[in-house]
Amino acid sequence: MKELLLQKMMFLEDEPEKPIEEPAEELAEEPIEEPAEQLAEVNIPEDRNEVEKQAEVPEEKYEKVDVPRKRTSACFSALFLSSGILTSVGCLAGSSASSSVGFSGSYIFNGIAHMTVDIRLVVFKFFELLAVNYPSSLLLYAEKVVCSDFNMIHSTLSPPYGFVKNATHAPRVSYHDYIIVGGGTAGCPLAATLSERFDVLLLERGGSPYGNPNISNLASQTNNLAYITPTSPAQSFVSEDGVIMRRARCLGGGTCINAGFYSRASRQEVMDMGLNPKLVDQSFRWVEREVVFRPQLTDWTSALRAGLLEAGVTPDNGFTYDHLDGTKVGGTIFDPAGHRHTAADLLKYADPARITVLVRATAQRILFRNVTAGGHRKKQPQAYGVVYKDLDGNIHEARLKQGSISAGEIIVSAGALGSPQLLMLSGVGPADHLRSLGIEVVLDQPMVGQGIADNPMNVLVVPSPEPLSPTSLQVVGIRPGYYIESLTGFSFGVGNSSSHTGVIVEKLAKPLSRGYLRLKNVDPEDNPSVTYNYFTEAEDLRTCVEAMQTIMRTVDTEAFSEFRYPNQTVEYLQNLTASLVVNNRARSPQDATSLEQYCNDLVNTIYHFHGGCEVGKVVDHDYRVIGVDGLRVIDGSTFSFSPGTNPQATLMMLGRYMGLLIGRGGK
């Protein structure tokens, strides 16, 4: 019996990860599948990946589903066998769910203590599914025990990445097929995918996210953004518009410092980007299998959801990753134990023999040489290497292998600020601007740094009579032109406890106002000068006013009344928020606050910067830098708009997507 049960669990331990099948060269465009409204039946297959997908249970409300009881019994028994403990769970082998369960929480804890991190996560999701379908108190208790253990092991164990090293240990010169600058939201999945076939070097200016509780713990999220040092995961700067900003400086990029919301780009956005829908869908699923979870709604977010619907932000789209008008529950990169998963987790798919990741490696410039273009005498620059500096100040060079079968490339994935900054520092940008700083011009490209944009954010602070625990972004109201979201558990300077303060956020979806980025100096570690020109387009201001009106209607609903003091009117909350110091912008001298003035005076950021190396202007549709050989830019700087409610889903997808295309040699 013991041997039989162990065999039934081998799909969790011994079967290798199955790669997502790559499509053929010619792919018919197919619509991206939506999660089904209801799942009448969930069968537990012999494929571990399918186990993880089914455990998500994507219907709007938990409903009882039919889990085959013999397999349920086998999985429970094998759970205990993994630590040498065989416990009877006969009630799940065929008796009713209300029968007493013959095990204790200590057995579960001891059982999972000997499992790998990957297997523990699968076990956790399995318990989550069982607790949904067999809601007995002991099963729910068992789920909590597993959740507690998962919480413990995630905070103490780092992924076993032997290929991640501090740049101080790097050789003076190294050679690779592909060199990626920027281990961020797009760079990590890109590097992991390319390493399936090529020798890859990934350079990241920040450190590792693992072992840092300010990154991994939801409750420490404010510390992650507040504690700024020369090496902290978040780097602070102020835009020329007077808005206080943060940019990521960590392996995993913005996924290490954001609020965690996961929402795919819409179908129309995918088409506008010129991407293949079928490969896009496969790439999204590759990401979601590892780092995305269904959030457990708090009372506050449940009230916000009901309030949005009552205020007319309809229809109710339930839980979905898709970007749909109305109100929905989205995915999150915070697991049920409150721990953050980042793009760095996707490096688990990398081939350790073909990848090197260097942290604390700040790129100084890209190296170019001139080559004959297309047999003509005209010289065209070709990228062949990257100069980078380690934390001790030592200079290193990474170069492309000569005569490599892959031909090799430098790929910049340093983000909407870092990528145009590095191109300019390397001599690719507006010639007059570069010469003014003493930078030798490699290519006069006036569009580098142009068209950069930010999605302006405005908020309404709501003191609550009910205690509020910190939450990630979980619910969004999507309207043409703007999105409504919320956060809780932070003080926001209103003088009361952070556990009694919430904030409702509106973000412009696709602002028309555009700005530009310039170098302040030639120091790669310094921030560039960025001007976003918020609300210079009248339509943006009109949209902000409409969004704030929607927030006020939502706060005034019966559904949200539990989280408002009855004597605090919407006008009071507006004036309270207006009294806060949220940016460095000059305020209007008028006492009366119109919503137009409110939007202008209190504009803030949600850190969704994009543009500066846009497709069609700086890079072509294959993300190759126009006028340069051997150089691509693959990140948010290539976007003309911020896709989805939060761009992180699309950026991680894009890294996987382009890695597959480049690896096939088709692009």
Q: Which residues are catalytic?
A: 608
Do 262 and 320 form a contact (C-beta atoms < 8 A)?
no
404: phi then psi, degrees, rounded to nearest 5 = -65, 140
Name the helix (H) or strand (E) containing 130. Answer: helix 117-133
- CA dist 296 and 588 (Å) reads 41
| Tokens linked to 80 | 């205990």
Spatial neighbors of 619 by CB under 8 A, at least 6 apart, are 613, 625, 626, 632, 633, 638
- CA dist 120 and 287 (Å) reads 19
DSSP state of 217: B
- CA dist 424 and 443 (Å) reads 10
Name the helix (H) or strand (E) containing 607. Answer: none
- CA dist 204 and 347 (Å) reads 13
For 303-315, the three-class secondary structure string (H helix, E strand, C coil) is HHHHHHHHCCCCC
Name the helix (H) or strand (E) containing 475. Answer: strand 475-479
First-to-last C-alpha distance (Å) of the chain: 53
Which ranges of 374-486 does DSSP label H, i.e. alpha helix? 415-425, 431-436
CB atoms < 10 A from the CB of 653, how many?
Answer: 29
48-55 helix and 277-291 helix, angle to the nearest 10 degrees:
80
